[in-house]
Chain A
Amino acid sequence: MMAEPTATTDIWVSGTEAPEVSEWMVAGTDEGAQEMERDETVERSVEQRGSRVVDDWVVDDTVDDDERMIVNMGPQHPSTHGVLRLNIELEGEIVRRVKPIIGYLHTGMEKTAETLTFLQGGTNVTRMDYLAPLHNELCYSLATEKLLGVEIPPRAQAIRILMTELNRVSSHLVATATNGMDIGALSMMMYGFRERELILAFFEKTTGLRMNHNYIRPGGVAADLPDGWEEDVAEILERIPLAMRDYEDLLKENPIWLGRTRGVGIITVDECLAYGVTGPTLRAAGVPWDLRKSQPYSGIEAYEFDVVTGSRGDVYDRYRVRIGEMHQSLRIIEQVVDTMPRGDYKTADRKVSPPPRQRIDESMEALIHHFKIYTEGFKVPAGETYVAIEAPRGELGCYLVSDGSGAPLRMHTRAPSFSNLQALPIMMADSLVADTVACIASLDPVMGDVDR
């Protein structure tokens, strides 16, 4: 693009004439503007940025073997969110094929579940998805209760919703924080973990532990909310929206962030459905599918909230969906605080929960009853069931089979991270190798959940 020579007279101080525009000067100007090759390579660069995935890419046999390279990323890589290994086939800078290799964190939790009673099972499942332990407990408890057929008192249900929605906020905070860190926004990491600490402190006060709570149990919850919980939750409700305004300043219109996330790692609705992808990834593609709305559980249908969706299905939309979901979760929590019912925090059904403490002092039978529930566990009628809830990463399912004894015959967890990870090769097909970490981070996989 030729510069207009007349315009330079304004700043030409040494003489009366316009400077002579030489070939050298023009070339120098164009190079600085980096406009020389854009027209020729725009097609290619769209493809490279991943905003257009060419699905019917045919392997070009003429490509020199030297240009193809298999790279192992992980299993110990800071941005793989745990011990995930990716086998990546590169052609120059472009990722052609990806194979996730998992199992490094497999600890046989489904096998362990068969040796634990239904009451003990909560300690096991809570360790699967360690960023959303309460969702795991809730899903397992709901499956057990479905087989038992017990009624859960309204207060226990409200406490469950309060705790799981707080957990969703803390989990999405980690997702956003690590997503930022992986792409280079290190401040986001600090901010996200700072606010998460607020929620974990409340969890510690309520359940005794920051993680792996075993708080939600078949029949209700382990203990009532602590004294002064309203003030703690009110502080969370006040401070997190303020902090989220900081995140918006930091990322929402940040040109570097936009450049690294817009049009990157696109997945379409059809691909999501075919590969069993759920949660924020599916919603970012544009489907308003949220099990809290479509198949409500634990009385969540009583609260008002919206399902946040995106439209492009890229990394940026997934980030926006998570931010939106945090706002909606806070909205639910606010309503739970306002409408928290009084009453029992666990079921009065003596099949499942032991007699109250005072009765044990008075009655021998009550003592025996208490003892038997905690040693043998309660018996669950024979049957099989599948219960699914909306965990922060998608559909978390529990397939539970009982043969009528005190321990499950089979406990299987449908882990959202496990199914979502299958979509990684689709997202990364023909994108740049630098976008790999952006794609992984946007899926928010928890390897404890993947491998179980």
Chain B
Amino acid sequence: MSGDSSPGPPAAADEVLASLSEAVPSAEAGHSVGDHVIRVPAEDLARLAGAARDHGFEMCSDITVVDYLGKRRVRFEVVVNLLSVRHNRRLRILVPVPEGDPEVPSLVPVYPGANFLEREAYDMFGIRFAGHPDLTRILMPDDWMGHPLRRDFEVGAVPVQFKASPRVT
């Protein structure tokens, strides 16, 4: 599942990526199917995002999570897609998050638009975003148990109350 095996780097010399890696030493720049990606540990996510915003990535277009249950050692991966309108380029930040302590810093202070996106990620995967102003469920009902997009949350695992119908025996 490593992206580094994919077709070569999209741009040969990249000052922005180099500069970001310099600002956050733990960040590891790479490529995935022709896109720029940066892998960073959870504790440095907010710092990297702040640096990225200062480098012209003014929009956080998407935040989501992938559940690699049984595929990888670290179960979750938070995926942040940044967009620079000024420089017309994208950047993807990948953050591995362990199952035992699924917590990453919130990006709302850096990108206010991360609000809904992080609420959705929390709702669907149970990833906690530390520092989020209103980390509540957004799509599922408030009293829902579990996080439905996790791989071990089976389709049909929750009994749904339908109108009583005559049982065929």
Binding site for B on A (CB under 8 A): 102-103, 106, 108, 110-112, 114-115, 146-147, 149, 273-278, 287, 289, 294-295, 382-386, 388, 395, 397, 399, 401, 403, 409-410, 412, 414, 418-419, 421-422, 451-452
Contact = CB atoms under 8 A, between A and B. Distances in A.
B111 A103 contact: no
A399 B140 contact: no
Interface stretch (B9-17, B21-29, B42-50, B113-121): B113-121
Task: From B35, B64, B151, name the one whose CB has the most chain A CB atoms within 10 angstroms.
Answer: B64
Interface string B103-119: 00000000111011100
A108 B154 CA distance: 12
Interface string B90-128: 101000000000000000000111011100100010000
B119 to A, nearest CB: 10
Contact of B139 (A106, A278, A397): A106
Contacts of A399: 62, 64, 79, 81
Given A383-B32, A397-B62, A414-B81, A422 B113 contact: yes
A23 to B, nearest CB: 57
Nearest 6 A-B pairs (CB), nearest first?
Answer: A276-B113, A103-B139, A414-B62, A275-B113, A106-B139, A412-B64
Nearest to A112: B155
7 contacts: A102-B139, A147-B33, A384-B1, A386-B62, A386-B92, A397-B61, A452-B139
Given A276-B59, A386-B62, A412-B64, A106 B116 contact: no
A404 B58 CA distance: 34
A62 B58 CA distance: 38
B3 A106 contact: no
Contact of B66 (A106, A149, A410, A452): A410
A451 B112 CA distance: 20
A289 to B, nearest CB: 5
A103 B141 contact: yes
B59 A451 contact: no
Contact of A419 (B3, B64, B88, B117): B117
B116 A421 contact: yes
Contact of B61 (A287, A388, A422): A388
Interface in B136-154: 137-141, 148-149, 151
B139 A451 contact: yes
B52 interface: no
Contacts of B112: 274-275, 422
